[in-house]
Amino acid sequence: MTRTRTRQKLIEAGSEIFAELGFNNTGINTVLSRARVPKGSFYHYFSSKQDFGLAVIDDFAKQHSEVLTMLMSNQAVSPLQRMRNYLEYCLKTLIEYKFRRGCIIGNLSQELAAQNADFRHCLAAVFEEWKQHYMSCLEAAIQAGELDQQADCEQLAELLLTGCQGAMLMGKVKQSAKPMQNFIEFFFELALRKNNQPA
């Protein structure tokens, strides 16, 4: 196994375990066991557990950014439909993992943002990148005539970010798809309705 592949296996194992147990409750040996990497190998790839945690966040953020780019840039569907497709993707992911994981960035933000400045800055940067994707899609909706020219794209993107994260959290708590389904309905039927371009 190449050095790069071994490092990636550790990151993938860490991502799975952090999503289920959190960062503080995860021991290095648990990650090594899940990744099937020999004990003692960890510090060949990461200088500390914090360094490892930041690498896991960066890896997840890159993967999610690829999903965002694919869905939000899909010219085959209208901008608002792209946004709905993204939220449906989030809902599907929540269901696939049986409401055990939610969003790892959201989970780690709740756990670590108040504890560690390095984690807080890293997580904040991820959320800001996602918000920029949302804003670009909303701006495209204005250009396509789906939203009023005066629609506040930054405010709507912030609502989408915080609402989606909250809905995923409540989905875990309630073990139900309903919170996310309710948010999707609210966002499109209420939040966006007042910004709809009149026919």
pTM to 2 decimal places = 0.90
Domain boundaries defined on the chain: 48-195
Q: What is the reported pLDDT for 194?
A: 60
The answer to whether 135 and 158 have CB atoms below 8 angstroms apart is no
Give 10-residue mean pLDDT values along the chain (199 residues): 84 94 94 91 93 97 94 94 96 92 92 95 97 96 93 96 96 96 94 63
Q: What is the reported pLDDT for 78?
A: 95
Q: Which CATH superfamily is domain 48-195 in?
A: Tetracycline Repressor, domain 2 (1.10.357.10)
